[in-house]
Chains A and B, each alone.
Chain A
């Protein structure tokens, strides 16, 4: 085959390609030609561009669409972090409620106002406070011994 007849063959093949008349084998041969030095002619740029675009499109369609694993892991990690944060916050709140309590029951009524509860606490402390005038243990003992001395006859004390 001469060069001119070879060129004419490829031109006809390009023409058939654009008319969608080429077979799969002919398209493969044309693709190989366009990648070769002989096919580097600028007049084949159009067909080269179309075939390249279609090849990329074909590859994209062949590849199954799937979620990137890294993104899915990030989603689960974020959900787990939020859950832990919520659980931690709830746990801290519950523990705080249990650690810090300020409540009084006055005449059957529940009181949670801090000022009122603390006032009741102070009143309870006042109620148990040993007041002036109350006899101490020492005073009570002294009273007992003085009573004994007074009751014991004078000659029995010596």
Chain B
């Protein structure tokens, strides 16, 4: 019995780091539902490849979404935006066009969420993109990353 309790405690501790992203509403976008979808691109990078950028996790989803899907994804982003420590957004026609959000750190890691619906810029084929990042990179470092 004692051994089972210790094992359960260990498992709980090990799963805490994995929950940093799962606490966000957008986490469900990366659960594999778009893996087989035509017109969708999902990227997952962890570890070694991101070290040079002071990041530990990179997740992105680019999708040519239907209007209903776009509204649902937008709602997920807006839900998470309520918990953001910093945000920068742009709206077009009442719809979320662009969002950059920084969340309170979890387990010592900074967390960022980017959203952009390029279809609102007049390019229906461009689709929307959601990017989630974790790591020690500061917002300034991310801006430099974008400018490269």
Contacts and interface: CB of A to CB of B under 8 A. Distances in A.
- Whether both chains belong to one complex is answered with yes
Interface of A: 99-108, 110, 114, 117-118, 120-121, 123-125, 127-130, 134-137, 140
Nearest to A98: B46
Contact of B90 (A127, A129, A134): A134
B90 A135 contact: yes
17 contacts: A99-B48, A102-B46, A103-B43, A104-B44, A107-B37, A107-B40, A117-B43, A118-B49, A121-B60, A123-B41, A125-B60, A127-B116, A127-B118, A128-B100, A128-B116, A130-B90, A130-B100
Nearest to A99: B47
A99 B57 CA distance: 10
B132 to A, nearest CB: 10
A128 B43 contact: no
Given A100-B49, A108-B36, A120 B41 contact: yes
Contact of B45 (A101, A105, A107, A128): A101
Contacts of B48: 99-100, 102
Nearest to A100: B47
A145 B126 CA distance: 32
Interface string B32-44: 0011111111111
B44 A106 contact: no
A134 B98 CA distance: 9
B34 A105 contact: yes
B62 interface: yes
Interface string B69-112: 00000000000000000001111000001101000000000000
A106 B49 CA distance: 19
A75 to B, nearest CB: 30
Contact of B91 (A129, A130, A140): A140
Report the 10 A-B pairs with minimum CB-CB distance, sorted nearest first.
Answer: A100-B47, A124-B60, A128-B114, A127-B129, A101-B46, A128-B116, A105-B35, A108-B36, A100-B48, A105-B42
B46 A100 contact: yes
A104 B39 contact: no
Contact of A101 (B40, B44, B91, B146): B44
A125 B146 contact: yes
A128 B131 contact: yes
A125 to B, nearest CB: 6
A114 B47 CA distance: 12
B131 A125 contact: yes
